[in-house]
């Protein structure tokens, strides 16, 4: 294996599987570790380097991954497992075609569920750690959380934790898992402790990140608002091109408009129409990217996604993406 120009040492009990400048070799090994994927170097191919390492106890696998050049990764859906990804250094852009996208910076996290189609655009030198749970574990935890018979298909948005408290709780369990794997933790040799820690990790995942599961009525006390939010979100994501109103979203959530507003503020720190606007902004952004060189205008895209005031559209777009919509369209 060729020595890369840059590459961290695998910490603790993690085992390095890739340390290479060879694109084909990297693609083959990491495809085996994750899922079959396309790997493209967007910068100078001579600058490419890759490092990948992993460690585990029964139920959980922790990995480290770094690319030394601007790189685009386009895997197939993960299918049999879920990943919680944390940027340790640098920046990536995560794109889920037709759904949403997000720029993730150092210290931030996002979830890739087993069913999502996605791409990850890596800045040179970006490095992340991932925590992997099996699909079966995640689907049972989702059913347990919502008080229904499992397993239950569990989908997640690309956003980070739902609140500062949730972020702290997730960081705590993640750090505990890393200590067990990187050190000589009990979970590496005790199936009972490993199972307990795996179940706790999956349960905290459900509470820490936005769970989107269609067609399920939560039975346990205290989460009716969360179920209503999920139903309203599903409508907003499926039909953002339609003139949806607060009343439409409330009917989808099976609650009153006021109750839906309160549930959104409690669970996702926004309003129902604010969430719909974010979905539409994401779709407009995707259309502007796709429209480069085609003659499409910012106004056409804005009107298509319900933004009748072009000045307001430009302002909220810049706030969300950091550039003017015209800049995105020009490339």
Q: What is the pLDDT of residue 221?
A: 34
**Residue ending a domain, choose from 168, 193, 211:** 211
The answer to whether residues 72 and 161 belong to one domain is: yes
The answer to whether residues 205 and 111 belong to one domain is: yes
Closest by CA position to 69, among listed 102, 30, 26, 36: 26
Q: Alpha-carbon distance 278 to 288, whole Å?
A: 15
> What residues make up the domain containing 289?
274-330
The answer to whether residues 177 and 96 belong to one domain is: yes
The answer to whether residues 187 and 314 belong to one domain is: no
The answer to whether residues 81 and 95 belong to one domain is: yes
Q: DSSP 3-state helix, strand, coil percentages of the chain (rounded to 5)?
A: 45, 20, 35
**Residue ending a domain, choose from 270, 285, 310:** 270
Closest by CA position to 234, among listed 209, 212, 259: 212
**Residue ending a domain, choose from 270, 289, 310:** 270
The answer to whether residues 173 and 82 belong to one domain is: yes
Query: Whole-model pTM?
Result: 0.63
The answer to whether residues 98 and 140 belong to one domain is: yes
Q: What is the CATH number of the domain that holds 176?
A: 2.60.120.10
Q: Are 207 and 69 in contact (CB under 8 A)?
A: no
pLDDT in tens, the chain (331 residues): 333 344 465 566 788 999 989 988 898 888 887 778 888 998 888 889 999 999 999 999 999 999 989 999 988 889 899 999 999 999 999 988 766 789 999 999 999 999 888 899 999 999 999 999 999 999 988 877 776 666 788 888 888 998 888 899 999 999 999 999 888 788 888 888 888 899 899 989 988 998 876 544 433 333 445 778 888 998 998 888 888 888 889 889 888 888 888 888 888 888 899 999 999 999 999 889 988 878 889 999 988 888 878 888 899 998 888 899 999 988 7
Q: What is the CATH number of the domain that holds 326?
A: 1.10.10.60
Q: What is the pLDDT of residue 9?
A: 59
H/E element holding 52?
strand 50-57
What one-character-per-residue DSSP string does 190-242 give?
-HHHHHHHHHHHHHHHHHHS-EE-TT----STT-HHHHHHHHHHHHHHH-TTS
The answer to whether residues 185 and 48 belong to one domain is: yes
Q: What is the pLDDT of residue 189?
A: 84
The answer to whether residues 147 and 221 belong to one domain is: no
Domains in the chain, number: 3
Long-range contacts of 250-256 (CB under 8 A, 24+ apart): 253/227, 253/228, 253/229, 254/228, 255/224, 255/225, 255/228
The answer to whether residues 105 and 3 belong to one domain is: yes
The neighbouring-strand residues paired with 57 are 60
The answer to whether residues 159 and 117 belong to one domain is: yes
The answer to whether residues 109 and 238 belong to one domain is: no
């Amino acid at each position: 294996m060729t020595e890369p120009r840059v590459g961290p040492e695998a910490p603790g009990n993690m085992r390095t599987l890739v340390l290479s400048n060879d694109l084909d070799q990297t693609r083959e090994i990491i495809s085996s570790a994750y899922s079959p994927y396309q790997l493209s170097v967007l910068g100078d191919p001579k600058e490419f380097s890759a490092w990948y390492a992993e460690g585990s106890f029964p139920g959980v696998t922790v990995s480290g991954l770094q690319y030394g050049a601007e790189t685009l990764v386009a895997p197939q859906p993960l299918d049999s497992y879920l990943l919680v990804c944390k940027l340790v250094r640098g920046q990536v852009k995560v794109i889920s075609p037709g759904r949403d996208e997000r720029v993730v910076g150092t210290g931030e996290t996002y979830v890739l569920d087993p069913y999502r189609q996605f791409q990850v655009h890596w800045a040179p030198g970006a490095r992340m750690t991932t925590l992997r749970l099996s699909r079966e574990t995640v689907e049972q935890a989702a059913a347990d959380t919502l008080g229904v018979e499992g397993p239950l298909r569990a989908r997640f948005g690309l956003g980070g934790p739902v609140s500062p408290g949730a972020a702290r709780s997730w960081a705590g369990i993640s750090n505990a898992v890393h200590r067990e794997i990187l050190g000589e933790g009990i979970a590496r040799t005790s199936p009972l402790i490993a199972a307990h820690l795996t179940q706790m990790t999956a349960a905290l995942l459900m509470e820490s990140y936005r769970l989107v599961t269609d067609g399920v009525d939560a039975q346990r006390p205290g989460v009716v608002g969360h179920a209503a939010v999920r139903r309203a979100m599903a409508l907003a994501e499926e039909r953002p091109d339609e003139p949806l109103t607060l009343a439409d979203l409330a009917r989808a959530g099976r609650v009153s408009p006021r109750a839906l507003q309160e549930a959104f503020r409690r669970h996702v720190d926004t309003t129902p129409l604010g969430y719909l606007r974010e979905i539409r902004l994401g779709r407009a952004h995707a259309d502007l990217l796709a429209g480069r060189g085609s003659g499409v205008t910012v106004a056409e895209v804005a009107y298509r996604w319900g933004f009748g005031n072009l000045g307001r559209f430009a302002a909220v777009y810049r706030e969300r993406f950091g550039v003017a919509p015209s800049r995105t369209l020009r490339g």
